[in-house]
Amino acid sequence: MPRRALAALLVVGQLTLTLSGCMSVEATGTRPLQGPGGGVSVQVFPDDSARRAGRPGPDGILGEVDRQSGRGWVPVFRSLNPAWTVAGLPPGEYRVRFPARLDASGNVVRLSDKSTTVAVREGAVTDVRAVLDHVSTGLVVLGVVTVVAIAVILTKESRDHGLPLPPPPPPELLDAVFYVSINLAASSGWENPERSLPPAVTSHFPAAGAVVAARRPRLVFSLTEPLRPTSLNADGVTVLGEASGLVPGQVSYDAENWWVVWQPAVDLAPGDTFHVTLAKDAVEDLAGHDLTAPVSFTFRTAR
């Protein structure tokens, strides 16, 4: 077989491997919703295997719902959970997107920012599904056919010319193309984006009960609306280790994402359980409303 034709097949195979795993975001249907307005319900999956099994995850993926306003988009809801619903939305055009994620230390990592546009209707919730590592069926078929064709051609060439047979592809390459395997966690989200209501925590990072390997992880609380930066209480977040006691740290406000962030000043003790509390008066929204109640969760550090 001419080298040029073989090279073309190799290029096709390489492109297939490169493009097969990518993020997908799509609306999958609508269903009735009780109460005023409409809603959007989101589930995030790490890969197609988890999607088929119905197991959302992981935590720490920033999901955002934006409402179309004039020629631009205005954020109306954000969450770090892999499964959540926002209700009470006025009918109109909305965009669901996933611009970033948090790594194991709580630092922001930008994603490709895939999105989908949905029409929110009165009395209905639109289901949206995102798959972080989605493999297109067409690309998989093309990749398999290409690899088989190359193997057949190389085998024939080897036999015709006395060359050694090519080795089989490494297992880790096949794994990377067709699936990934990670720990999954499912949780629910907040359902009230109304600006006239008090602010509420939609999610937090790490998730409740998580085991954290980082020694100085950033703890993040995601809110339903923008906050008044000057209202931030320096003592609004407390982190108490069962064995290590009160942990010193600094509280800040991320205005871009509506996050309250706590950064430890020292390494967290390994193998300890930590109780985290965001105080009721830790923040105020732009109308001067406090949280309706404190928010607490626990996590553990790895040994």
Domain-located, residue 187:
no
Least confident of 94-98, 102-106, 165-169, 261-265: 165-169
How, if at all, do strands 201-205 and 219-223 pair? Answer: antiparallel
* Cβ(295)–Cβ(246) below 8 Å: no
Same domain, 14 and 140: yes
The domain that holds 254 is classified in CATH as 2.60.40.3710
Residue 259 within a domain: yes
Average pLDDT over residues 235-259: 97
Whole-number Å distance between alpha carbons of 132 and 48? 9
The pLDDT tens digits of the residues spanning 180-229 come to 222 222 222 223 344 467 888 999 999 999 999 999 999 999 998 889 99
Position 260 in a domain: yes
Task: Name which of 122-131, 153-162, 211-220 the model is least confident about.
Answer: 153-162
pLDDT of residue 288: 87
CATH of the domain at 130: 2.60.40.1120
Query: 190 in a domain, yes or no?
Result: no
Lowest mean pLDDT among 58-67, 153-162, 279-288: 153-162
pLDDT of residue 62: 96
Residues 65 and 7 in one domain: no
Q: Find tokens 């319900």 and name the residue.
A: 41
> Looking at the domain assignment, is residue 274 inside a domain?
yes
239, 156: one domain: no
pLDDT digits (tens, 9 = 90+) for 32-77: 988 788 999 999 999 999 999 999 999 999 999 999 988 899 898 9
Count of structural domains within the chain:
3
Torsion of CA 21, 27, 31, 32, to 10 degrees: 130
Are 7 and 32 part of one and the same domain?
no
Is 94 found in the same domain as 9?
no
pLDDT of residue 251: 97
Task: Give the pLDDT of residue 182.
Answer: 24
Residue 242 and residue 168 share a domain = no
In a domain, 184, yes or no: no
How far is residue 101's CA from residue 113's CA, in Å, rounded to a whole number?
10
Whats the size of the chain, residue-wise? 303
Identify the pLDDT of residue 9: 47
What's the domain range around 225?
195-303
Most confident range, picked from 87-91, 165-169, 180-184: 87-91
189 part of a folded domain: no
Cα 259 from Cα 223, distance rounded (Å): 6
Query: In this structure, are 203 and 260 located in the same domain?
Result: yes
pLDDT score, position 156: 53
**What is the C-alpha to C-alpha distance for residues 106 and 215, in angstroms, rounded to an integer?**
11
Say whether both 10 and 26 belong to one domain.
no
Same domain, 130 and 149: no
What is the 3 state secondary structure string of the chain? CCHHHHHHHHHHHHHHHHHCEEEEEEEEEEEECCCCCEEEEEEEEEEHHHHHHCCCCCCCEEEEEEEEECCEEEEEEEECCCEEEEEEECCEEEEEEEEEEECCCCCEEECCCCEEEEEECCCEEEEEEEEEEEECHHHHHHHHHHHHHHHHHHHHHHHHHCCCCCCCCCHHHHHHHHCCCCCCCCCCCCCCCCCCCCCCEEEEECCCCCEECCCCCCEEEEECCCECHHHCCCCCEEEEECCCEECCEEEEEECCCCEEEEEECCCCCCCCEEEEEECCCCCCECCCCCCCCCEEEEEEECC
* 53 and 87 together in one domain: yes
| pLDDT value for 135 | 61
Cis peptide before 167 (omega within 30 of 0): no
Q: What pLDDT score was predicted for residue 196?
A: 61
Which one has a higher pLDDT value, 165 or 102?
102
Residues 13 and 143 in one domain: yes
Average pLDDT of the chain, as a whole number = 79
Per the domain annotation, does 92 fall within a domain? Answer: yes
Nearest to 228 by CA among 207, 202, 198, 249: 198
Beta bridge partners of 142: none
What is the predicted pLDDT for the residue at 249?
98
Query: Quick one: 230 and 168 in the same domain?
Result: no
pTM above 0.85, yes or no: no
